[in-house]
């Protein structure tokens, strides 16, 4: 009996699994070392098996049809996918490529097996990743997309999620057919910002973050949308963005309502301050006119009574002098309270009022206070002058309480249509945390008064240490040159 054909030495040492089958019986004639190791079988065991025993999943009839396609020509080949069974009962996927050969006058089939385990694992992992991605996209409240800008200015949407219709009122097919439709949805006032943000993202390959309004014909409505995307270069000099668009109309409406509410609150606060100042002025006038007048009359009457006291009554004279001193102190108190309620110096103009307050501060607190202002007065209506004066008072109060300063410099300047008041101290300075304290009503009040004037209030570190408070308000009209 002639010996069985065997694989060539090169095939025996090959990394791929190689089998030799009898063409008539499909019995295993030989297998290389890679095949034996992977199957966990020795050569004798394999030679007792045929192709269908080696691959139980093969249907004999279907297998026969595949092999029939080989014909009888030597070198013809066909391939199929199946699973080979190991000695331990496990199996693994392979692609078998069959070639018809003739050895020593015997018709044989040479089969090369490619192990598909890694390929199938990769396909399975890819399928799982795709499933997760699809689930995320389906549950993302917006439109996930890819957008490409070509060097010649053409744009494309290679991929769009199903959220396209819900967000933009356009089917995916419409945008993929004509990507320019998207820019057409953007309101004309917002298109320039859209183009500029896209150009900046393209130039620096930085994140694209834009929000604006679009018009949806399908619903006859305007939406606010936010676009966030990450760019990366692609072939041909184009740039592709992967990103998401979301509907931010509700949050924008809330923001606008907050702005309107704050504006209404600021108007109410300003009105309350004006009413309070008017009431202060009224009370100050009444105290000054009524109480001051009555106390003056009492003082005059006391003087007349004291002059008529009989001689030899020192106790009565002492009482009269005591009452006269008491009336003087009361008149002084009335004057001080009136000034606190409504400084009469405001009637002489804002420059005179601020200079007077600076001198009073220096006298009362013992802190040097230098005032620098224009020689002439600056025209301000009564409400603006009073508000600016109150800001100045509060700033000086804060310095006296918290700064530990020994010197304060106050500067009042008119610059065309603006009036700037700067208050600089040489104290310990102010920390950022001090501005955020829940009960820092002084700073908040100053800021609100400045806003009510249509101006700004800024806090900064003063040169050489300390704090600089700068209030800048717009005058009703330009008057004169810079001072």
CATH number at residue 99: 3.30.450.20
Does residue 332 form part of some domain? yes
Walk along the chain (483 residues) and give the pLDDT tens digit of each residue.
456 788 888 888 898 999 999 888 889 999 999 999 999 999 889 988 999 899 998 888 888 888 887 777 767 788 899 999 999 999 999 999 998 888 877 888 899 999 998 888 888 888 888 788 777 777 777 899 999 999 999 999 999 998 888 899 999 999 999 999 999 999 999 999 999 999 999 999 999 999 999 998 878 889 999 999 999 999 889 999 999 999 998 888 888 888 888 778 777 776 776 777 677 777 767 776 677 777 778 878 877 777 777 776 777 777 878 887 887 788 778 777 766 776 667 777 888 888 888 888 888 888 888 888 887 778 877 778 888 888 888 888 888 888 888 888 888 888 877 888 888 888 887 766 665 555 556 677 777 777 777 778 888 887 777 888 888 888 765 444 444
Does residue 133 form part of some domain? no
Does residue 131 form part of some domain? no
Q: Are residues 337 and 358 in the same domain?
A: no
* Predicted local confidence at residue 478, as pLDDT: 45
Does residue 23 form part of some domain? yes
Expressed in angstroms, the distance from the first to the final Cα of the chain is: 124
Which sign, positive or negative, has the C-alpha torsion 117, 122, 123, 129? positive
Cβ atoms of 331 and 299 within 8 Å: the answer is yes
Q: Are residues 319 and 354 in the same domain?
A: no
Does residue 261 form part of some domain? no
Strand arrangement of the beta sheet that strand 239-247 belongs to: 155-160, 143-149, 239-247, 221-233, 208-216
**pTM of the predicted model as reported, rounded to 2 decimal places:** 0.50
Q: Are residues 92 and 115 in the same domain?
A: yes
**Could you tell me which residues are beta bridge partners of residue 242?**
146, 230
The residue from 247, 279, 303 where one domain ends is 247
Q: Are residues 99 and 157 in the same domain?
A: no
Supply the range of the domain harboring residue 156.
140-247
Q: Are residues 352 and 458 in the same domain?
A: yes
Does residue 4 form part of some domain? no
Give the count of domains, the chain.
4
Token pair 């949308």 is at which residue? 225
Does residue 157 form part of some domain? yes
Does residue 482 form part of some domain? no
């Amino acid at each position: 009996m002639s010996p069985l054909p065997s694989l060539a030495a090169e095939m025996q040492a090959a990394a791929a699994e190689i089998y030799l089958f009898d063409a008539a019986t499909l019995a295993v004639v030989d297998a290389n070392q890679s095949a034996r190791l992977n199957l966990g079988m020795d050569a004798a065991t394999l030679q007792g098996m045929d192709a269908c025993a080696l691959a139980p999943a093969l249907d004999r009839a279907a297998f026969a049809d595949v092999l029939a396609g080989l014909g009888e020509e030597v070198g013809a080949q066909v391939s199929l996918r199946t699973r080979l069974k190991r000695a331990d009962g496990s199996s693994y996927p392979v692609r078998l490529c069959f070639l018809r050969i003739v050895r020593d006058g015997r018709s044989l089939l040479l089969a090369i097996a490619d192990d598909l385990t890694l390929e199938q694992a990769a396909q399975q992992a890819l399928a799982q990743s795709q499933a997760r991605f699809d689930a995320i996209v389906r549950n993302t409240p917006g439109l996930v997309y890819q957008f490409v800008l070509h060097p010649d200015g053409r744009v494309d949407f290679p991929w769009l999620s199903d959220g396209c219709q819900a967000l933009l009122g356009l089917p995916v097919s419409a945008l993929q057919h004509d990507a320019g439709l998207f820019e057409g949805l953007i309101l004309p006032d917002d298109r320039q910002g859209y183009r500029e943000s896209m150009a900046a993202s393209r130039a620096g390959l930085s994140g694209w973050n834009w929000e604006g309004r679009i018009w949806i014909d399908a619903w006859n409505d305007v939406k606010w949308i936010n676009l966030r995307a990450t760019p990366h270069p692609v072939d041909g000099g184009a740039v592709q963005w992967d990103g998401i668009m979301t509907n931010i109309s509700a949050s924008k409406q809330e923001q606008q309502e907050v702005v309107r509410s704050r504006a209404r609150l600021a108007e109410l606060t300003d009105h309350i301050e004006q009413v309070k100042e008017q009431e202060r002025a009224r009370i100050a006038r009444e105290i000054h006119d009524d109480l001051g007048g009555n106390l003056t009359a009492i003082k005059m009457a006391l003087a007349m009574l004291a002059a008529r006291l009989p001689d030899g009554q020192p106790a009565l004279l002492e009482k009269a002098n005591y009452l006269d001193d008491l009336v003087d102190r009361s008149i002084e108190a009335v004057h001080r309270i009136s000034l606190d309620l409504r400084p009469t110096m405001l009637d002489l103009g804002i420059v005179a009022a601020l200079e007077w307050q600076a001198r009073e501060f220096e006298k009362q607190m013992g802190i040097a206070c230098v005032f620098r202002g224009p020689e002439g007065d600056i025209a301000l209506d009564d409400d603006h002058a009073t508000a600016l004066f109150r800001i100045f008072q509060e700033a000086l109060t804060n310095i006296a309480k918290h700064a530990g300063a020994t010197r304060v410099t106050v500067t009042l300047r008119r610059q065309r249509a603006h009036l700037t008041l700067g208050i600089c101290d040489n104290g310990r300075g102010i920390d950022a945390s001090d501005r955020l304290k829940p009960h820092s009503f002084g700073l908040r009040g100053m800021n609100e008064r400045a806003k009510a004037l249509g101006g700004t209030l800024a806090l900064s570190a003063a040169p050489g240490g300390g704090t600089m408070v700068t209030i800048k308000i717009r005058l009703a009209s330009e008057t004169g040159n810079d001072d």
